[in-house]
Amino acid sequence: MMRLIIFDLDGTLVDSSVDLTNALNYAIEPYDIERITVQRTKGLVGEGITRLIEKLLGQEMIALRQSVMDRFMEHYTAHLVDFTRPYAGVVETLAVLHQYKKAVISNKRETLTRQVLWKLGLLPYFDAVLGSDSVDEKKPSPKPLLTVMEMFSCSAGETVIVGDSNFDIEAGKAAGIPTIAVSYGFREAGLLQQADRIIARFPELPRVLEKLGEHGNNP
């Protein structure tokens, strides 16, 4: 049976796209860079803040990376949850998943991940929280997943990952665990087709977990 659920944060548990976009636009304001839209932010998020800024700047403006990063962090840490909210049904669903160990693994830094969860009242639902700097590799590497599995002595057959991006799916596949993609998040549906299950609403999760448990590690 399933014992451990690993969740992604941005685009899975919470919609942080507006706050991320506002921080990015503040970061690039002094420079000759076109303002970014929320939709474009959603397409860039997933590999961590440093990589996000590198993709935004492009190779021709990479020399600005540190100054843009500093401005981003200045704004984002001060406005973490101005507009960020849990997706519909997240709080209610987490409350009924008490029989599982639950962890968040984000490619956002651990301190920021914990702050977002705490400010939104979600932190008490989780037994572990890892960010991009918690271990020496981040998703799509399986290392953070394997770290949490070892923490709770859970095998691949007892663990599942829930996320909105191909990075979550790739990390799950590399760790040998079932993968559940959410189609309401930041990534286009076409990038999620390798997941073992796809759900359109977070409250669908308990039933999907039951089915995975019935079939063991063969979704």
Last residue of a domain, one of 28, 61, 78: 78
In this structure, what DSSP letter does residue 93 have?
Answer: H
Asked whether residue 181 is assigned to any structural domain, the reply reads yes
Residues 191 and 128 in one domain: yes
**Per-residue model confidence as pLDDT tens digits over 170-189:** 999 999 999 999 999 998 88
Neighbouring C-beta atoms of residue 149, cutoff 10 Å: 23
Q: Is 28 helix (H, G, I), strand (E, B) or coil?
A: helix
142, part of any domain: yes
In angstroms, how far is the first alpha carbon of the chain from the final one?
Answer: 13
The CATH number of residue 58's host domain is 1.10.150
Q: What is the gyration radius of the CA atoms in the chain, in angstroms?
A: 17
**Residue numbers of the domain that contains 33:** 17-78
In this structure, is residue 219 part of a structural domain?
no
pLDDT digits (tens, 9 = 90+) for 42-71: 988 878 788 889 988 988 899 999 999 999
Q: Is residue 113 part of a domain?
A: yes
Looking at the annotation, which residues are catalytic? 8
Instruction: Please check whether residue 53 lies inside any domain of the structure.
Output: yes
pTM exceeds 0.85:
yes
Domain endpoint, select from 61, 78, 95: 78
Q: d(Cα 92, Cα 206) in Å, to the nearest integer?
A: 11
What the block records as the tokens of 19 is 């706050």
pLDDT at 156: 97
